Chains A and B, each alone.
Chain A
Amino acid sequence: MVESLFFLLLLQLLGEAAVHILALPIPSAVLGMLLLWFWLLTGLPVPKKLETLVRGILNYLTLLFIPAAVGIIEHKQRIVSDGWWLLLVLVFSTLLGIAAAAWVMRWLEKHDAHAAPSGTEGAQ
């Protein structure tokens, strides 16, 4: 477990170093994710319990967003004064984005012979 956590932190640390040296506009953790992705794809050895640790952490991913999300209360004044339109705009545009991405992917699946069959949708 210790080796696995060390490994994840080490990759994030490498990401952090690369972000600073190359002045990249992405966070160290996202770069760390890409590093681990390539590491795993090349079949390099990883700590034995990595899978177990990863399953454990990802099960509680939602929990880890709570501290930042509670920060919304810092803006309760603005939400009250600018009205609820701000919340509505943010949520509605998010749903538009979700619907648009899903619609395009489904449309391409039906119209593109190269797409991999889905298996969860009924036959056309």
Chain B
Amino acid sequence: MNLFPVDFWHWLRPGPLFGLTMTLGAFALAQVAARLCRGHPLANPLLLAIIFIGVVLVAAGIPYADYFAGAKFLHFLLGPATVALAVPLARHTPALRKDLFRIGAGILVGMTVATASTLALAWLFGGDATMLRSLAAKSATTPIAIGITERLGGLPSLAVAAVMVTGIGGAILGIPLLRRMRIEDPRIVGIALGVSAHGIGTARALQFDIKAGAYAALGMAVTGALLAVILPLCFWLYPRLAALV
């Protein structure tokens, strides 16, 4: 199916204008829609924007690569935006230092539970070895997850999709879940979202509270670095330990 006249798409295709315009337009529309739904968690601007863009790409038969050729300019800004997270981090460093033990415990437990439960559940549902190796790094931020997955021998593109689903799921349902647990402390919200839902969770935490964003940035960075070291070690050790039993 092709909604656009061929000529139209022919001259639009090589340029970045289409992907860039569509991303900004979809996000603006998604924000209006989210406001109309009075901030209901499921009316999440990121989720809505993905649905809008996904529907257009699939309906018009536009390959993702063509879309990304334009959208990559926004994607590129993730780099300096990640660097920028150091500013709220520095502002809250005195508070962080008083709380190091608790933060460390939260990061270790959250990271272990998120990763171990992914592997256990995927195995229970009959996921094969390649699947498990592709899902293991899902709580790491995207570039780290790609690196880990390559070392484990999984499929990097599947890993990126898993990372995105994880981030969106955590960003949409994380805060309602924490509210149900009667947790509104920005330090706990931040660590919990940053550890399990990496950058997208951090973006959500920033909207919740700037302090939560600072804690989430720390949780995201530490989790990513730890997973990069621990996961390859676990996947190397496991068959050797299993052989001993």
Contact = CB atoms under 8 A, between A and B. Distances in A.
30 contacts: A11-B83, A12-B79, A12-B80, A15-B83, A26-B228, A27-B82, A33-B85, A33-B89, A37-B93, A41-B90, A58-B81, A62-B203, A62-B207, A64-B77, A66-B49, A67-B67, A67-B68, A70-B64, A73-B58, A90-B118, A91-B170, A92-B117, A95-B170, A97-B192, A99-B178, A101-B113, A105-B102, A105-B105, A112-B101, A114-B101
A95 B177 contact: yes
B62 to A, nearest CB: 10
B81 A101 contact: no
Interface residues of B, number: 111
Interface string B201-216: 0111011000001000
Contacts, number: 311
Interface in B131-167: 135, 138-139, 141-144, 147-148, 157-158, 160-162, 164-167
B220 to A, nearest CB: 8
Given A61-B202, A91-B166, A102-B183, A33 B86 contact: yes
A15 to B, nearest CB: 8
A70 B47 CA distance: 9
B181 interface: yes
B122 interface: yes
* Residue among B26, B82, B84 facing the most chain A CB atoms (10 A cut-off): B84
B118 A58 contact: no
Nearest to A103: B181
Nearest to A89: B121
A122 to B, nearest CB: 9
Nearest to A64: B78
Contacts of A63: 23-24, 27, 74
Contacts of A114: 101
Given A67-B68, A94-B170, A98-B177, A57 B195 contact: no
A25 to B, nearest CB: 4
The list of the 9 closest CB pairs from A to B, nearest first, reads: A97-B114, A101-B110, A67-B71, A91-B169, A97-B196, A36-B86, A27-B143, A40-B90, A29-B82
B54 interface: yes
Contacts of A71: 64, 68, 157, 160-161, 164
Contacts of B54: 70, 72-73
A106 B111 CA distance: 16
A77 to B, nearest CB: 11
Interface of A: 5, 8-9, 11-12, 15, 25-30, 32-37, 39-41, 50-51, 53-54, 57-58, 61-76, 78, 85-87, 89-106, 108-109, 112, 114-116, 118, 120-121
B75 interface: yes
Given A62-B45, A67-B68, 6 more contacts: A33-B89, A65-B46, A65-B199, A70-B50, A91-B173, A99-B192
Contact of B27 (A66, A91, A109): A66
Contact of A97 (B23, B53, B111): B111
B221 interface: yes
Contacts of B106: 101-102, 104-105
Contact of A72 (B27, B87, B165): B165
A37 B86 CA distance: 5
Contacts of A33: 82-86, 89, 217, 221
